[in-house]
Amino acid sequence: MNNIRSTIPDFPLTIRGIFEHGERIHAASEVATYAGEHIRRASYAQVGERVRRLAAGLGKLGIGPGDRVGTFAWNNQEHLEAYFAVPSMGAVLHCINIRLFPEQLIYIINHAADRIVIVDSSLVPLLAKFAGQLTTVERYIVIGEGGGLPRETLRYEDVLASAEPVRVWPEVAESAAAAMCYTSGTTGNPKGVVYSHRSTWLHAAAASMANSIGLTEDDKILPIVPMFHANAWGLPYSGWMCGADFLMPDRYMQAERIGRMIAAERPTVSGAVPTIWNEVLRYVDANGIDVSSLRCVVCGGAAVPRSMQEGFLNRHGVRVIQGWGMTETSPLAAVARPPRGTPKDQEIDWLNKSGRVVVGVELRLMSGEQELPWDGESVGEIEVRGPWVTSSYYLDDAPEKFHDRWLRTGDVGTVDAKGFIQITDRAKDVIKSGGEWISSMELENHLIAHPDVLEAVVIGVPDERWDERPLACVVMKPGAAATLEQLRDFLAARVARWWLPERWAFIAEVPKTSVGKLDKKVLRARYAKGEIGEVKVEKMG
Ligand code: ADP
């Protein structure tokens, strides 16, 4: 009696399974790619046939199970084809972050040991600069035309034409490696996370749930988040799984292009980091662009300013839903949908939380060895584990990040009884003033709500008396007149007195990381070199 077993055998959850489902069940759904002046369109059925050809072509070039195939590409149809072809044939997709520094790119491509790199023609000149130092790449496949790379270079369309479409896929275990991403390496070298078929499948399903992004065949997804940034947050897989149309922005990521794309093509769902949405909001506000087709804008990767969410909601009727996660968590771990019964006028309070933990992800709040209560007040470091949370890096030890399968996220915040997370800072960005913590993120969010402020970034700088104090750096909107004293007064009405920065600086622009987040490391270095002209603003106005 004790030895009862499930009558359902373990059936592998594979990317091939997602691919064939979409290809057959949603054959008429569309993948559109913005090409500057016009839009290229293909049905899932057509994309599917090309996926099969790409897999066969890669096979002819000697790619087999476990081999890494890199992509150095924008968000477009061909990149999506690689998303399915490479894992379905048992190889491993490595989406390379084109915005890393050359030394980091050389490091990650050699570290992942990519054998082939598929590259967009417009990115060939960038790749060519360091391709000579890539030790494992045997060939390049160029989408479009392009040469000048040190090894054999083939045209993507020729590779597709050279092979008969794969009809029978190899058996692939669900635990096999399917794709890999490197973190952007804010300290030291980037670290690789290797996703399995199973982790990708489950993450895609969890992201599609109505409690998360909530995707169906009626959706049209505009993934602005690059396909090399944590696999575009899984949108290619979850969208295909649900049969949604795709609108791929290719290299046209500027606010103006995005605004025009939204107005013309009317996507229902989109995802990008806050800096992008900020620019898009400014553009659509200034130009009267209709973005009302969007029913769900997913925003995360950094704290989402409430003022931006209010702008979209109040002026355009668009809900910006915040998500929280990291490359190590595939990335989606929490999504901030307002809980049941929330009155309309309080929705924004919930949308502005970092996220509500998604089923599958287990979370705890820690202070040293002690677990803290989920009371919405206790502040600790968030740890997570789950079926799509990594518990190590690829060929790289980081014992300080992992223990007993828990991932130490380095994010500090609170969790409430309903599982809503509020990140207050990254552990390394928290400002430690006189033994107390000041949230740089909260100061930034208040500052950016000032009508004259375009961007704001707050870092902790050394202080003799308090160890550290905040330095507020602001970029003003063109023609804005607010003084630093006025900005300080604006903050004074919103935060505790001892949080108020005494040190201020106007800066021309905020440095950004390779995925468009505020780059505090660069700002700290500039401050240390005395390159930031700080002003003392001590008296309240
Ligand atoms: P990188 O470390 O290069 O920025 P990731 O994109 O993996 O790469 O970043 C993950 C980090 O982004 C998280 O650990 C967290 O600090 C931050 N983050 C993600 N989502 C949010 C959010 N909604 N609010 C605040 N911070 C966030």
Average pLDDT of the residues in 394-413: 94
Average pLDDT of the residues in 429-444: 93
Sequence ranges of the domains in the chain: 15-253, 431-536
Average pLDDT of the residues in 293-305: 96
Reply yes or no on whether the pLDDT at 217 is more than 90. yes
d(CA 389, CA 407): 8
**Per-residue model confidence (pLDDT) at position 37:** 87
Helix axes 440-448, 306-316, angle to 10 degrees: 40
pTM listed for this prediction: 0.95
- Catalytic, 437? Answer yes
- Catalytic, 328? Answer yes
In 3-state terms, what secondary structure has residue 10? coil
Query: What is the CA(92)–ligand 1 centre distance, in A?
Result: 24
Residues with CB under 6 A from ligand 1: 183-184, 186, 230, 300-304, 322, 324, 326-327, 331, 354, 409-411, 423, 426, 515, 517
Q: Please, what's the b/e burial string for 117-128 (b: 16 or more CB within 10 A of its CB; e: otherwise)?
A: bbbbeebbebbb
Query: What is the CA(288)–ligand 1 centre distance, in A?
Result: 31
For residue 199, the one-letter residue type is S
Query: What is the CA(134)–ligand 1 centre distance, in A?
Result: 29
3-state SS string for 94-130: EECCCCCCHHHHHHHHHHHCEEEEEEEHHHHHHHHCC
d(CA 127, CA 120): 10
Per residue in 159-186, pLDDT (tens digit) is 999 999 999 999 999 999 999 999 976 6
- Catalytic, 183? Answer yes
**Per-residue model confidence (pLDDT) at position 189:** 87
Q: What percent of the chain has pLDDT over 90?
A: 95
- Select which of 136, 437, 442, 502 is catalytic: 437
DSSP 443-482: HHHHHHTSTTEEEEEEEEEEETTTEEEEEEEEEEPTT---
Q: Which CATH superfamily is domain 15-253 in?
A: ANL, N-terminal domain (3.40.50.12780)
**Per-residue model confidence (pLDDT) at position 185:** 67
Neighbouring C-beta atoms of residue 289, cutoff 10 Å: 19
Give the CATH class of 431-536.
alpha beta
Residue with tokens 């809503």: 420
Confidence band for 538, pLDDT divided at 50, 70 and 90: confident
Per residue in 68-111, pLDDT (tens digit) is 999 999 999 999 999 999 999 999 999 999 999 999 999 999 99
In 3-state terms, what secondary structure has residue 91? coil
